[in-house]
């Protein structure tokens, strides 16, 4: 575990969480949205002017848009922070990311042009897991 991790990269630039909405902003949006969702049908039941009910309905739609955009931003922050590759449990084969990394490493060694040929892995791959065991 590192004490001072490097900045998170997103599309080649440092991702700055301070530039976007935070979790407090998202919670505030959800609270206001919840109040408006409850208040909108009640305004019709209480026979408020139709313009007020319409304004509440449009406010709900706009708040849904903002809350949706905020959650997308926050999910991108979380996804960008999880940079490490995790291996699935009981996986006998390499993941797609590991295969791409191996292909990239082989391409880098071939580009070096040192004349050394890349030797294949002498150990055979382990057999795939059987269907017997914990899951039947």
Domain ranges for the chain: 40-79
Model pTM score: 0.48
| Residue 126 buriedness (CB in 10 A; 0-12 / 13-18 / 19+) | exposed
Q: Residue 43's pLDDT band (boundaries 50, 70, 90)?
A: very high
Instruction: Give me the percent of the chain exceeding a pLDDT of 90.
Output: 29
Greater model confidence, 116 or 30: 30
pLDDT band at 111 (very low <50, low <70, confident <90, very high): low
Q: What angle, 0 to 180 degrees and rounded to 10, lies between the N-to-C axes of helices 50-81 and 23-45?
A: 160
Note the pLDDT tens digit of each residue in 13-24: 776 656 666 778
Q: Give buried/exposed letters for 43-65 (b at 16+ CB in 10 A, else e).
A: beeeeeeeeebeebeebbeebee
């Amino acid at each position: 575990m590192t004490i001072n991790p490097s900045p998170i990269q997103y599309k080649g630039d440092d991702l700055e969480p301070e530039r976007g909405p935070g979790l407090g902003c998202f919670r505030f949006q959800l609270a206001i949205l919840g109040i408006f969702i409850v208040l909108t049908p009640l305004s019709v039941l209480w026979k408020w002017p139709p313009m007020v009910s319409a304004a509440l309905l449009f406010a709900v739609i706009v708040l849904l848009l903002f809350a949706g955009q905020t959650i997308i931003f926050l999910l991108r922050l979380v996804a960008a922070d999880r940079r490490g590759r995790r291996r699935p449990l009981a996986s006998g084969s390499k993941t797609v990311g590991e295969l791409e990394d191996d292909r990239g490493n082989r391409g880098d060694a071939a580009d070096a042009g040192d004349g050394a040929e890349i030797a294949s892995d002498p150990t055979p791959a382990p057999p795939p897991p059987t269907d017997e065991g914990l899951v039947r």
